[in-house]
Structure 1
């Protein structure tokens, strides 16, 4: 029988090497709710599309022509509607009993709800009002779900939950790759790579890097603790490698650098930390100059053209579309709706008839919810970064570093081509969840100071 814990408000913890919670804290692996919530989290990890459900579309033609190859694209299917009802039903059933406890945290994190509510409001001017409204409501539910995860589970339990989801996703991906190669290998791109349970190899690479993050900060127990940690990370690294996702590799390298700095800078004094951090902009500028000077060699090494596989052409065309509705956009998730609407002009201008992505997080958001939406997402990211700075100190617990690392990955999306607030996406869950948890950690640290 599941053991129910009280809503979490970051109690004062004894400082210990693991920094993950009180000794009496029950393991998430002994709670039935943990295994139930793995299902919707996996659904969000694959953005609502498991690879084995769409094997017929896993080919080069779909990679070129996109939604043009999919009959009745955008109209949905009865099976997918049942899936949505099932997974969101689980979330609603889990969250509803805790709504009273969630409300104070929701109000404290109202900025995280501003963008989803703006998406709901975009129904008024959307190219596809019904579509915008339906998907915006699911994002609101996802946002509440993220707050629920922050309140319902203690830090150690949160890490265990995400480790479990990462383990299932990684092992499941290997199983699909080996047993159903037509689904597990991405044939939509000219560079073939493994996608596992995910709908695209880039999503596989990036999400695998994200699921590795809790393992860097969690203290595995038992005589085989080191083996457990090494095995988990090894499997994830192998999956990232065989995905052949350059984006995933870069995210993984950036995460490793962040983890190294986050762990080791704690040992420095405040002045030393400021000196080290102040050198980062100079190092970034120097790295940028080197990348620019040797861009031809780097692009060749990454098997990319001078246009970054056509991205610069797409960005120019996207900018022209943005200027037609700069403030409000074309409606949440109502721009890439097949070969119709404003997407037709963008596809023709970029020479990519199957284009379904602006290849830039801010451009994508601007197309859908305008500059207002861009300002809101930047405010949310800025809030998360500020809370991370407030939490970072010499005795910062490991779980707080994990929250910070996830905020870091979300900031990386500004440059790595990922998108913000996609329907049914775990990335949005993670952003809201990490932001809320950091707010709780700030309050806990202030309570320690005043105690």
Structure 2
């Protein structure tokens, strides 16, 4: 692709692998029958690159050990899973794709990683628009016949991808000065993702986007380290408190009525209420990775027959609940340790780095990712582009924080785009 001429062949291959592996592009264009074999074929070059650059995987694993242990723990959960066969066939691809992203995190500089993510976001948007133009089902499926889903299985998935794609493509364009064609390509990607976000009609993703860009703007204009940390944490805390109070006291009922939504968050709150007792049945280790929502199980049938539900759900629409169902409190603690390490490291260097734009974009991504998982679930998502992005970003931030603690607060200038490095 001419507009990606600044990328090396390896970087172009990475973009293609992530777009195809993290979306339903293959299913959309080739059909479900071809998807399994083609998706399996995608894992082969991921494994090959990971093995070829094993030292980078080891380096990243030492910087963020909680991240690699979390993925291994998902695979090990097959030993106590209520559906071992489902856990095994779903956890192994998760481990492969995650190790692939951990390897990439060490191979390229922070600026290069952001440019890669911006290109991935742009290509994903282009794939969705092509699908909408050629595939009737990509323009809507019941009961959302007129709402686009692109190369995803649902309009909300398109909305989520477009929301984070807008943030990443815009952030990448911000740091791509001196690379005119690439910058135009990334600006195009930001505009396309913004358009797809609107037509997806995903309210959660639209709210997340507003929060993310607000946070991005506030952080970019803040110069002092303590002020940056305080403002970011204050915004997150106040937002959480206000949203919780609004739902608890019914303040948002008129607003939901205006947009045609119910104050149950489109049925999410009743789903959480009937699912939570199952979390308490197996709190420490969970039910096994992606094993709980077996549609033929008695537990899912019991949830579907609840008077407040009356449909067969396939996930809980909440990252916390889904994580507890998959890997229990132990897995949740690993995730919390990872976030503590990353936040602690980044807050230590956020206000002392000469050029903080990449740090700010990545920090905004993580906070938006956590906000997004309040009503959706992308944590440990198999073949999910958002979890792949999250894995790459947190791994890179962990490496940067570790390097900064050894070398001091000043970060060295990033190498050229064709060179690999920390």
Is TM more than 0.5 here? yes
Equivalence map 1:105-144=2 (5 Å): 105-144=60-99
Corresponding residue of 2:417: none
Q: Contact 1:381–1:411 at 8 Å: present in 2 too?
A: no
The separation in 2 between residues aligned to 1:440 and 1:176, in whole angstroms, is 37
Equivalence map 1:156-175=2 (5 Å): 156-175=111-130
Other structure's SS at 1:219 match: coil
Q: Contact 1:172–1:196 at 8 Å: present in 2 too?
A: yes
Q: Contact 2:226–2:351 at 8 Å: present in 1 too?
A: no
**Residues 191 and 315 (structure 1), Cα distance of their counterparts in 2 relative to 1, 3 Å cut:** farther
Equivalence map 1:224-239=2 (5 Å): 230-239=187-196
Flag the structure with larger Rg. Answer: 1
Q: TM-score, normalised by structure 1?
A: 0.80
**Residues 316 and 101 (structure 1), Cα distance of their counterparts in 2 relative to 1, 3 Å cut:** closer
Q: Deviations over 1:271-291 (max 9, x none)?
A: 544664575345654565456
The separation in 2 between residues aligned to 1:273 and 1:83, in whole angstroms, is 45
**Residues 150 and 249 (structure 1), Cα distance of their counterparts in 2 relative to 1, 3 Å cut:** same
**Residues 122 and 289 (structure 1), Cα distance of their counterparts in 2 relative to 1, 3 Å cut:** closer
**Aligned with 1:179 (options 134, 143, 152):** 134
**Aligned with 1:427 (options 382, 386, 393):** 386
The separation in 2 between residues aligned to 1:183 and 1:422, in whole angstroms, is 23
Corresponding residue of 1:417: 376
Q: Deviations over 1:312-349 (max 9, x none)?
A: 21111101222322222221111222232421222222
Other structure's SS at 1:29 match: coil
**Aligned with 2:291 (options 334, 350, 364):** 334
Other structure's SS at 2:315 match: coil
Unaligned runs of 5+ residues in structure 1 are 1-26, 55-76
How far residue 203 of structure 1 moved from its aligned partner, in angstroms, is 1.0
Other structure's SS at 2:305 match: helix
Corresponding residue of 1:66: none
Corresponding residue of 1:241: 198
**Residues 175 and 273 (structure 1), Cα distance of their counterparts in 2 relative to 1, 3 Å cut:** closer
Corresponding residue of 1:294: 251
Q: Contact 1:193–1:242 at 8 Å: present in 2 too?
A: yes
**Residues 178 and 150 (structure 1), Cα distance of their counterparts in 2 relative to 1, 3 Å cut:** same
Q: Contact 2:175–2:357 at 8 Å: present in 1 too?
A: yes
**Aligned with 1:193 (options 147, 164, 171):** 147
Corresponding residue of 1:368: 326
Q: TM-score, normalised by structure 2?
A: 0.85
Answer yes or no: is 1:88 the counterpart of 2:67: no
Other structure's SS at 2:191 match: helix
**Residues 351 and 108 (structure 1), Cα distance of their counterparts in 2 relative to 1, 3 Å cut:** same
How far residue 32 of structure 1 moved from its aligned partner, in angstroms, is 0.8
**Aligned with 1:45 (options 22, 33, 37):** 22
**Residues 326 and 224 (structure 1), Cα distance of their counterparts in 2 relative to 1, 3 Å cut:** closer
The number of aligned residues is 400
